[in-house]
C-alpha cells in the first residue's frame, strides 16, 4: 500500500526542502524530516546560524505534522569536506565544497542514516534535479540485492539510473550532484525536479510556510556565510606574502597575503591602482600572482583541460566514449554558467582531456568539470591540468603554463596538440 512508503526527507530550514516534504506528504507517503548540522561556529554577530536553521526546519515539520530528527555530521564534514577544502586552497586550487558535501555527507552519511537507522524506503532532498526512475521504481530498489564482493559481474543486468536536469533550467542543481553514487541515486526522490522556483514559493505561501519563504536564499560557501573570505581563510592557513606581477611586462604592481586567496578570473585588489586588474596565472614556486589589465584579456582564455579520474554517474564511461575514445558533449565548471560544447578524449587511467569548441574564460585548477549530454548529467572530474592560454599561444611560448599541474600520467600526451603540458 502506498501510504506505508516511508520517505526520509532532508530539511534545511529553507523553502525548497520544506516544499519537498510537503509534496511527499501529499503523495500519501509517511514522511520524516531530518536536519543535518554540518558546521559548528558563530557568524560575525556571534549567532549560530545552524541553530536558527534547525528551529526553522523543526517548525516546518510541526506545520506538516511529520516527525523531526536532528543529526550532527560536524566531525565528518570537517574530515571529508572542510579539510579537503583547505588542502585544495593551500595547493592554489579552487575547490567546490558543495559538490564534495553532497558526495560524502548528504548522499552518504545522511543516506545511510535514513536507510539503516530510520528504515527509509527512499530518501528525498529539495534539489532541483530529476532521475530516470518513477517513485514506485525507487521504492522497488530496496529489494534489489547488490552483488557480493568487490567486483560486479560484467554480465550482470542492472538498469542504470540517470541523473537528469531539472525542468527549471536556471535552478537546475545537477552540477552539485555530479559526484553522487549510483546506489544513493537509485533510492532518492527529487520532488521539485519538475517545478519552477516561483511555483515552489507559491506552494509555500499557500501552505502556511511563510517563515521559510521570507528567508534569503543561501548563496556561496555555507561555512563562510557573509564573512569576508580572506579573513576567514587566513584563520586556517598561514599568510604567504607574494607579489602581483603584470603578465605583459613583468612589472611588480603590488603585494598580497597569499596566492591561495585568489582564483583565476577574479579581480585583484591592488592598493593604489584605480583601473581593474584580473588574476590570470599563479606561480606556486615563487608565490606570485600574475595579473592582466582587462576582464577579457586573452591570458584568461583556454580551450583545453585535463581532469582527474572521472566519476561517472552510471559507474562506467558512456559506451560511445569507450568505443571511440572520443565523444562530443557539453560541460560547465560553474553552476548556472552556459553549457560549453566540447570533445572528451578518454585516457587509460580514467581521466579525460576536455577540448572546448571555443576558449572559455577563467578555468581554474580544482574546479569540477561537469559533463552533460541531451539533458543528462553524466558525471564530473576535478580539473588538474590546464592547457596554454590564448595569450601564451599568441606569444608563441613553448614553456608550460604556470597553472599547469601534473596528474602523474606522463607528459606530451595531450590530444592532438603540439604544446606539451
Cβ pair 272, 342 in contact under 8 A: no
- As a whole number of angstroms, the distance between CA 184 and CA 168 comes to 23
Annotation marks residue 101 as catalytic:
yes
Angle at 78 between CA 76 and CA 81, to 5 degrees: 85
Q: At what angle do helices 197-206 and 15-26 cross, to 10 degrees?
A: 70
Which residues are CB-contacts of 57 (< 8 A; sequence separation ≥ 6)? 11, 12, 13, 17, 18, 33, 35, 68
From 9, 54, 101, 329, the catalytic residue: 101
**Residue 176 in contact with residue 221, Cβ under 8 Å?**
no
Catalytic residue (choose from 109, 222, 342, 377): 222
| Residue 222 designated active-site | yes
Beta 277-283 vs 267-268: how paired, if at all?
antiparallel
Contact predicate 193/166, CB 8 Å: yes
Which residue reads 534569503 in cell numbers? Answer: 216
Is the distance from CB of 244 to CB of 289 less than 8 angstroms? yes
Instruction: Confirm if 13 and 55 have CB atoms less than 8 A apart.
Output: yes
Report the catalytic residues: 101, 222
Amino acid at each position: 500500500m502506498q501510504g506505508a512508503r516511508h520517505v526520509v526527507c532532508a530539511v534545511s530550514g529553507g523553502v525548497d526542502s520544506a516544499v519537498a516534504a510537503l509534496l511527499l506528504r501529499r503523495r500519501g507517503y509517511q514522511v520524516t524530516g531530518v536536519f543535518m548540522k554540518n558546521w559548528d561556529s558563530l557568524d560575525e554577530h556571534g549567532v549560530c546560524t545552524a541553530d536558527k536553521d534547525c528551529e526553522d526546519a523543526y517548525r516546518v515539520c510541526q506545520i506538516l505534522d511529520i516527525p523531526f530528527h536532528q543529526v550532527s555530521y560536524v566531525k565528518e564534514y570537517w574530515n571529508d569536506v572542510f579539510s579537503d577544502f583547505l588542502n585544495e586552497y593551500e595547493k592554489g586550487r579552487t575547490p567546490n565544497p558543495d559538490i564534495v558535501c553532497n558526495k560524502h555527507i548528504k548522499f552518504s552519511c545522511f543516506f545511510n542514516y535514513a536507510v539503516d537507522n530510520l528504515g527509509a524506503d527512499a530518501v528525498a532532498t529539495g534539489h532541483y534535479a530529476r532521475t530516470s526512475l518513477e517513485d514506485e521504481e525507487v521504492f522497488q530498489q530496496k529489494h534489489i540485492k547488490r552483488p557480493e564482493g568487490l567486483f560486479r559481474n560484467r554480465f550482470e543486468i542492472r538498469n542504470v539510473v540517470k541523473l537528469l536536469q531539472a525542468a527549471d533550467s536556471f535552478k537546475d542543481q545537477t552540477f552539485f550532484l555530479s559526484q553522487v553514487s549510483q546506489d544513493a541515486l537509485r533510492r532518492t526522490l527529487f520532488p521539485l525536479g519538475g517545478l519552477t522556483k516561483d511555483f515552489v514559493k507559491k506552494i509555500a505561501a499557500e501552505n502556511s510556510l511563510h517563515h521559510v519563504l521570507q528567508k534569503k536564499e543561501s548563496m556561496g560557501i555555507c561555512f563562510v556565510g557573509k564573512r569576508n573570505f580572506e579573513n576567514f581563510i587566513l584563520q586556517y592557513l598561514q599568510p604567504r606574502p607574494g607579489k602581483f606581477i603584470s603578465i605583459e611586462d613583468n612589472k611588480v604592481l603590488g603585494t598580497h597575503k597569499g596566492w591561495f586567496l585568489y582564483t583565476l578570473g577574479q579581480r585583484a585588489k591592488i592598493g593604489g591602482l584605480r583601473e581593474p586588474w584580473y588574476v590570470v596565472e599563479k606561480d606556486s614556486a615563487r608565490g606570485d600572482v600574475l595579473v592582466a589589465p582587462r576582464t577579457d584579456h586573452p591570458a584568461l582564455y583556454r580551450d583545453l583541460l585535463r581532469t582527474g579520474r572521472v566519476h561517472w554517474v552510471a559507474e562506467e564511461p558512456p559506451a560511445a566514449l569507450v568505443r571511440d575514445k572520443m565523444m562530443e558533449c557539453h560541460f560547465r565548471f560553474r553552476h548556472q554558467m552556459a553549457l560549453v560544447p566540447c570533445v572528451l578524449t578518454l585516457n587509460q587511467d580514467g581521466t579525460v582531456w576536455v577540448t572546448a569548441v571555443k576558449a572559455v574564460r577563467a578555468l581554474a585548477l580544482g574546479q569540477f568539470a561537469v559533463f552533460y549530454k541531451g539533458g543528462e548529467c553524466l558525471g564530473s572530474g576535478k580539473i588538474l591540468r590546464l592547457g596554454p592560454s590564448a595569450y601564451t599561444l599568441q606569444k608563441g611560448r613553448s614553456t608550460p603554463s604556470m597553472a599547469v599541474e601534473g596528474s602523474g600520467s606522463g607528459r606530451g600526451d595531450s590530444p592532438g596538440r603540439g604544446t606539451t603540458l
